[in-house]
């Protein structure tokens, strides 16, 4: 195993964008055929210690990537702790989980003795503004606290939603500063409406059905903006499900990570299979363009702008 890699890593917390980024960085250090994935309590659960001790037929370093480490029971934690007292040479054990792992517990202590432990906690409402300012700074964009507060007001305090909007705004800013008008133009305000029939039609790529349902009750531009907010939120969840499944996560893992019941998670995974990840990103950008258009950025009728955008995001 390369000397810069350690025998074990523990990365957990409620800030899933940072946890996911850590997973991606570590996976990138190993050939795909040398990665063994385990989903605790999921479809691909296995004995962690047995997998770590298994012989590598291909030779070279191995990565045993464990998702859902926060769901390990006391017996499995004890087995991992005992294993870490004498880890297998050439094997890197990476444990990932959501909130729930005790930073001062036995698992964190055992990993810390031979490797690295990282906890990434999502901000609460009071911390969200500072979190957004720092996130922009990491991307090379200066964002005043007042503008960051506007982002939080429109998006909410979910770390995943905030991270996606910050990345989108950072691309728009291109290294320049951000202003409130930029946020209003590019970030749809959150909405509580849930037009399931419309999102289901989108997931089936039935553009005509989706357009017919969407425009049926649309009369004003602000109604288009509310619909855009709902669609954007849904597609972001599908994109998140796609990223998880591409990394080997099961439907159960998706449900757990997104805080969903099994059936909604199953629907998201099914829709994710209908679209390329890049296509989902383009759909989010296209809806942001639609939101700008109906707020004065276009001279066309709002309903017509809506139809054009829906055809774009649902087309084959």
Please say whether the beta carbons of 276 and 239 come within 8 A.
Answer: no
Q: What is the chain's length?
A: 316
User: 8-119 in CATH: which number?
Assistant: 3.40.50.300
Mean pLDDT score, 187-200: 66
The yes-or-no verdict on residue 220 having pLDDT over 70 is no
- Any idea where the domains of the chain sit in the sequence? 8-119, 125-186, 196-314
| Arithmetic mean of pLDDT, 205-229 | 76
Burial degree of 252 (CB within 10 A; 0-12, 13-18, 19+): buried
Q: What is the pLDDT of residue 58?
A: 58
Better-predicted residue by pLDDT, 227 or 48: 48
Structure confidence by residue, pLDDT tens digits, 77-113: 999 999 999 999 999 999 998 777 888 999 999 999 9
Q: What is the pLDDT of residue 209?
A: 83
What does the mean pLDDT of the chain come to?
84
pLDDT value of position 110? 95
Whether 99 and 121 have beta carbons less than 8 Å apart is answered as yes
Question: Residue 59 has what pLDDT?
Answer: 65
Residue 146 pLDDT exceeds 70: yes
pLDDT at 35 over 70: yes
**Mean pLDDT across 235-254:** 87
Cα 175 from Cα 233, distance rounded (Å): 26
The per-residue pLDDT for 8 is: 96
What pLDDT was estimated at residue 193?
39
CATH architecture of 196-314: Up-down Bundle (1.20)
Percent with pLDDT over 70 in the chain? 92
- Does the domain formed by 125-186 have CATH 1.10.8.60? yes
Q: What angle do CA 196, 201, 203 make, to 5 degrees?
A: 95
- Provide the 10 A C-beta neighbour count for residue 281: 18
Given a cut of 50, is residue 295 above it in pLDDT? yes
Q: Helices 196-203 and 262-272, interaxial angle, to 10°?
A: 40
Average pLDDT over residues 164-187: 83
Q: What is the mean pLDDT of residues 18-28?
A: 85
Token pair in block for residue 101: 């792992």
Q: Residue 189: what pLDDT?
A: 62
- For a pLDDT cut of 90, what percent of the chain falls above it? 22
| Alpha carbon distance 229, 305 (integer Å) | 15
Of 150 and 189, the structure prediction assigns the larger pLDDT to: 150
């Amino acid at each position: 195993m390369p000397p810069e890699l350690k025998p074990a890593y523990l990365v957990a917390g409620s800030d899933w964008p940072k946890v996911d980024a850590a997973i991606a960085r570590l996976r990138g250090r190993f050939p795909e055929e040398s990665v063994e994935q385990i989903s605790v309590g999921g479809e691909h659960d296995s004995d962690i210690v047995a997998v770590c001790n298994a012989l590598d037929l291909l030779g070279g370093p191995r990565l045993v990537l464990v998702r859902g480490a926060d769901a390990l029971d006391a017996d499995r934690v004890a087995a991992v702790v005992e294993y870490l007292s004498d880890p297998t040479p050439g094997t890197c054990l990476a444990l990932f989980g959501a909130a729930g792992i005790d930073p001062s517990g036995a698992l964190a202590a055992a990993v810390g003795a031979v490797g690295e432990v990282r906890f990434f906690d999502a901000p609460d409402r009071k911390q969200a503004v500072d979190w957004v300012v720092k996130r922009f700074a990491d991307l090379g964009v200066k964002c005043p606290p007042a503008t960051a507060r506007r982002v939080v007001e429109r998006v909410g305090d979910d770390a995943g939603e905030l991270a996606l909007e910050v990345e989108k705004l950072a691309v728009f800013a291109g290294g320049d500063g951000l202003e409130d008008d930029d946020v209003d133009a590019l970030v749809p305000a959150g909405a509580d409406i849930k037009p399931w029939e419309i999102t289901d039609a989108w997931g089936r790529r039935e553009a005509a059905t989706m357009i017919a349902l969407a425009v049926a009750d649309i009369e004003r531009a602000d109604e288009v903006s509310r619909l855009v907010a709902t669609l954007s939120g849904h597609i972001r969840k599908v994109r998140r499900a796609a990223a998880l499944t591409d990394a080997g996560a099961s439907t159960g893992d998706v449900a757990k990570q997104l805080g969903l019941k099994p059936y909604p998670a199953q629907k998201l995974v099914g829709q994710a299979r209908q679209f390329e990840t890049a296509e989902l990103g383009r759909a989010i950008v296209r809806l942001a363009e639609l939101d700008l258009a109906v707020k004065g950025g276009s001279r066309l009728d709002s309903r017509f702008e809506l139809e054009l955008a829906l055809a774009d995001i649902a087309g084959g």
